[in-house]
Structure 1
Amino acid sequence: MEQEARGRPRKSARQQDIPSSTLRLGLVPAPELPERTANLIVDELPELLARHTDDRHQWRVDCLTDPLIGADDSTADVIEQGENIKRANGWDYAVCITDLPLLRGDRMALAEASENLGVAIISLPALGISPLRQRLREAILHLVNEMHHGSDRHDRERQQQHMEDGREAREQSGLRNSNARELMGSRLFERLVPIKRVTPADDSEKNVDVRFVSATKWPGYAKLLGGMVRANRPWTILPAFRRIVAVAFATGAYGLIFPTLWKLSAAYELYRFVALMIAAIVAMIVWLILDHGLWEPQHYTHNARLTRFYNLTTVMTLLAGVACYYVILFALFLVAVVLFVPASLLESTVGRSVGWLAFPALAWLATSVATVAGALGSSLESDETIRGATYGYRQQLRQRKVKERQQRDRQQEDRDSST
């Protein structure tokens, strides 16, 4: 009966005022960013599904966070877990939202769906940096359409006609996607990194009926990397730099007492300032990685390319955090130099007249020198503060939670069987 219902032309609201039944969709996001993003759209999805998927039914959408969705990079395992959760909660469809990359061959996968199981999976970082909410909303609607109405050519042609008939309603809902074969509407990233719809023919992927992958390799990787850095939330490590800033500023302020930094700042060319800044930032990133054990070993993921992505994401995340730290430290030194270094004393020390650029130059040099001292001070922070912004560490925490939950379930089953 369900297949027959999917094959019938969609009735309008005028043809049927009262929906015949209720369909339930479950969102299963991983903790942190996927969970927060899913919660932003869960309340608006029932109306969107009724208007743009099937108005013969009422729609109910639930959201249930599961740590396994963000702890396992195997699509088969995630789809199996999603199918178990769907069956346990009595859902008709389930969409799993992970913050892990899905790599298929030499391409990045954005989403996959199983029409038979009624389960789909979306890789949130593959959607790019922003706007995540709009992209995720359109991707969920499209994947539910694929699972509800079918994925073959005739089903997509029928859905395309339906989308064209409801183009005005989709625009009112803020949906850009007007193509039944596209995962999302066209935005800047989708123009730069096109998305390709494929139907796997490999028997080993019998649970995957449709897949959306990046049509280009390296731009797709760059988009994925940006999304992974955002999933790491580099701004969360900024509080960890409070004591580092204090140590670095104290060291740099002490160095400003001596005339050596003054003379060097007056003698340096621009390329020397830039080279010293890069060297200081790199030194701090390397020290953070080594001191806090942030480098991901390959034996953990058993995938060399995935390990490289994790490590590159860690480096980019730390780069964003250290760059913010550097700007803050520069602002502090600039204020200190302007307030406490008289122009006449600076001129007599360097032996020539100076302009207003001499003060930012001196602050810039002091910042670079103090950053090296701040790198040593970074060991004062706890490992969890820094490691919490890395993929490998979060996966370990989630897998630990999964094991603890499984252990509790087994203990409960043993108690039930003994009574």
Structure 2
Amino acid sequence: MKPIHVGLVADPAAPTEIAQRMSNLRAPAGKGRAAWDIEVVSEPFTTGSEDVDTAMARLRDQARQHEWDFVIGLTELPLRHDDDSRYLLAKTDPQRSTAVLSLPALGGLRMHARARRAVRALVSGMAEPTSQDEHRVPLPRHGGRARLLVGMVLANRPWLLVPGLKSALVAALATGAVATINSTVWLLAGSLSWWRLMIATIASIALVVGWLVIDGELWDRPDNNSAEARERSRLYNTSTLVTLTIGVLIGYVALYLVNLVWALFILDPAVMGGYLQVSLGYGDLFVLAWFVASAATAGGALGSGLESDEAIRAAAYSKREEERRNRLAREGG
């Protein structure tokens, strides 16, 4: 039996990585079912538009060029249908053998396995359609937007933000190392209650996140005054803020641990207590490291400046969309 040629058109970066791991995707077992021949193409087919119909039209063009029987697009952008305010997981057009899958709508966890199952289901559905009508798979009204947001944040890979803050972290570590042995810092740390220390933590992280947004020009603004454009910007900006907050929080925890180890290594609370004429124990070192981490995060990071790193720009969906547009313009030119 002649194999079915299936094209996977994936946006660059993470979608392409996921698609390439599906090159060995096989059809479900069963008599009379043709084998699948998978071909992967990396192409920014959603560039400049989140309209599902536009994306599917571009996919059909790819299918004609490569002579595929079926084509499925994989994108990390959220997709909405004009007739429905809900976001989509997928849309299929069996008559034209075309489908598009929004990867963040899968929720982010176990992305490769979920994407693999979704693509297999889409191909099987188009190979043996129960109807030639278009099908949409909207996300649930309750919890659907939250699942999409989680998927977008995980797609941003916030843990990769830390290398983008390397010079700021080095400055913060230097600031913390000096502050740890400063008697005034000891007195300040000892005078603060736990809720003041918590406020200092939140304020320092918020300060760095705010500076990253401003310095990197990461805030997305609507292209027009339509409700759809405003909703898209809100979603983009929320995912950016959550991503940056997680990334900075990871750096903060790392800074706290380094300061704590440094304090435990070089300081004797009894000696410092005698110098300050107060009673100190090793438990006070944990409070000291906490206060120093907050002060060093704000002072060291902002004082050193923040480099414009790809990891920082990748934290914003709007920036990746801008890069997709630029890439398409260069290829077209």
Shorter-chain TM-score bucket reads: over 0.9
Shift of 1:223: 0.9
Mapped to 2, the partners of 1:391 and 1:61 lie a distance apart of 29
Does residue 1:216 correspond to 2:141, yes or no? yes
Shift of 1:349: 4.5
Shift of 1:216: 2.8
Does residue 1:249 correspond to 2:173, yes or no? yes
Does residue 1:347 correspond to 2:328, yes or no? no
Mapped to 1, the partners of 2:318 and 2:199 lie a distance apart of 32
- Which residue among 236, 246, 270 is the counterpart of 1:310? 236
Q: 2:196 corresponds to which letter in structure 1? A: R
Q: 1:236 to 1:70 in 2, by over 3 A?
A: farther
Q: 1:394 corresponds to which letter in structure 2? A: R
Q: Name the counterpart of 1:122.
A: 101
Q: Name the counterpart of 1:15.
A: none
Where in structure 2 are the equivalents of 1:323-362 lying within 5 Å?
Answer: 323-362=249-288
Shift of 1:323: 0.8
TM-score, normalised with respect to structure 1: 0.74
TM-score, normalised with respect to structure 2: 0.92
Structure 2 gaps of 5+ residues are: none
CA offsets 1:162-184 (integer angstroms, 9 cap, x no match): xxxxxxxxxxxxxxxxxxxxxxx
CA offsets 1:286-332 (integer angstroms, 9 cap, x no match): 01111111111112796100101111111111111101110111111
Does residue 1:364 correspond to 2:290, yes or no? yes
Q: Name the counterpart of 2:29.
A: 51
CA offsets 1:107-163 (integer angstroms, 9 cap, x no match): 2210000111110000000001211122111111211222222244xx9xxxxxxxx
- Which residue among 117, 121, 125 is the counterpart of 1:142? 121
Q: 1:246 to 1:289 in 2, by over 3 A?
A: same
Q: Name the counterpart of 2:302.
A: 376
Mapped to 1, the partners of 2:163 and 2:282 lie a distance apart of 33
SS at match of 1:216: coil
Q: 1:290 corresponds to which letter in structure 2? A: I
Larger Rg: 1
Mapped to 2, the partners of 1:83 and 1:351 lie a distance apart of 78
Q: Which has the higher contact order (CA 8 A, sep 6+)?
A: 2
Q: 1:248 to 1:316 in 2, by over 3 A?
A: same
Q: Name the counterpart of 2:247.
A: 321
Q: 1:223 to 1:266 in 2, by over 3 A?
A: same
Q: How many residues align?
A: 329
Q: 2:57 corresponds to which letter in structure 1? A: E
What root-mean-square deviation, in Å, do the aligned CA atoms of Structure 1 and Structure 2 show? 2.0
Task: Say whether the 8 Å CA contact 1:296–1:310 is kept in structure 2.
Answer: yes
Mapped to 2, the partners of 1:119 and 1:223 lie a distance apart of 25
Mapped to 2, the partners of 1:149 and 1:39 lie a distance apart of 25
Q: 2:29 corresponds to which letter in structure 1? A: R
Mapped to 1, the partners of 2:188 and 2:303 lie a distance apart of 25
Q: Report which stretch shifted further, 73-82 or 350-359.
A: 350-359
Mapped to 1, the partners of 2:310 and 2:117 lie a distance apart of 35
Q: 1:300 to 1:280 in 2, by over 3 A?
A: farther
- Which residue among 6, 9, 24 is the counterpart of 2:5? 24
Mapped to 1, the partners of 2:12 and 2:32 lie a distance apart of 32
Task: Say whether the 8 Å CA contact 1:284–1:374 is kept in structure 2.
Answer: no
- Which residue among 132, 154, 157 is the counterpart of 2:111? 132
- Which residue among 90, 93, 100 is the counterpart of 2:77? 100
Shift of 1:255: 2.6
Task: Say whether the 8 Å CA contact 1:31–1:70 is kept in structure 2.
Answer: no
Task: Say whether the 8 Å CA contact 1:288–1:375 is kept in structure 2.
Answer: no
Where in structure 2 are the equivalents of 1:378-397 lying within 5 Å?
Answer: 379-382=305-308, 384-397=310-323
- Which residue among 291, 299, 318 is the counterpart of 2:223? 299
Does residue 1:270 correspond to 2:247, yes or no? no
Q: Name the counterpart of 1:84.
A: 61
Does residue 1:42 correspond to 2:23, yes or no? yes
